[in-house]
A = this chain, B = another copy of it.
């Protein structure tokens, strides 16, 4: 850990996990850069949340990259017009919120920016524990991608995944320990882009279960006067 540079790039979607990663990174690196991706997601309010989190933590630069290709490829629930609940895609068995390769694209673009900044450390909130069927969140995928980025850009990237093997409840405990619990009041999780959150989609359900298991009220619901 002593060999790390002064700078880090954190993938910041505006959700609970990226808020935790952001606080974790800000406690360990001097200069934090955040990156978010605009791929036509319906829950665009998450981009506003990402910018708020970056400002609250005091990052050097927050960048929003347009990823029009994912919107073009989509035809899926995150960018389509149907309500998202918990159905799975009949063919793949994966959740209907799955955009194939989405995290691979995001991490590769973040790495390209990090390369330009001269930064080799990346932080992302992917999590294998309750990965909801997303194969691009697993440790084996991130390890393979790390090799690919190193080879493809000839650059010594390290992808840090502090949430990989912990539960949502442990993740909430982690951000509390890191002194960032209040950040969660400014996160966005709901797949349907609703404020207050819909409480019905799989993301809302997962979030609620996490706070319940951690025995901590959700700061977002507190801020919105919902608890």
Contacts and interface: CB of A to CB of B under 8 A. Distances in A.
A144 B153 contact: no
B149 A109 contact: no
A109 B105 contact: yes
Copies of this protein in the assembly total 2
A132 to B, nearest CB: 13
A144 B135 contact: no
Contacts of A136: 151-153
Interface stretch (A11-19, A20-28, A111-119): A111-119
Interface stretch (A62-70, A204-212, A217-225): A62-70
A197 interface: no
Nearest to A134: B152
Interface stretch (A43-51, A96-104, A187-195): A96-104
A135 B149 CA distance: 10
A65 B152 CA distance: 21
Interface in A140-159: 140-141, 144-145, 147-149, 151-155
A138 interface: yes
B105 A101 contact: no
A65 to B, nearest CB: 4
Contact of A69 (B65, B73, B103): B65
B111 A152 contact: no
Contact of A109 (B69, B116, B135, B154): B69
A47 to B, nearest CB: 14
B66 A152 contact: no
A161 interface: no
A26 to B, nearest CB: 24
A116 B100 CA distance: 8
A108 B149 CA distance: 12
A90 interface: no
B151 A148 contact: no
Nearest to A109: B69
A72 interface: yes
Given A67-B69, A101-B111, 14 more contacts: A66-B68, A68-B69, A73-B109, A73-B116, A100-B116, A104-B108, A104-B152, A105-B105, A108-B108, A135-B151, A135-B154, A141-B152, A144-B147, A145-B148
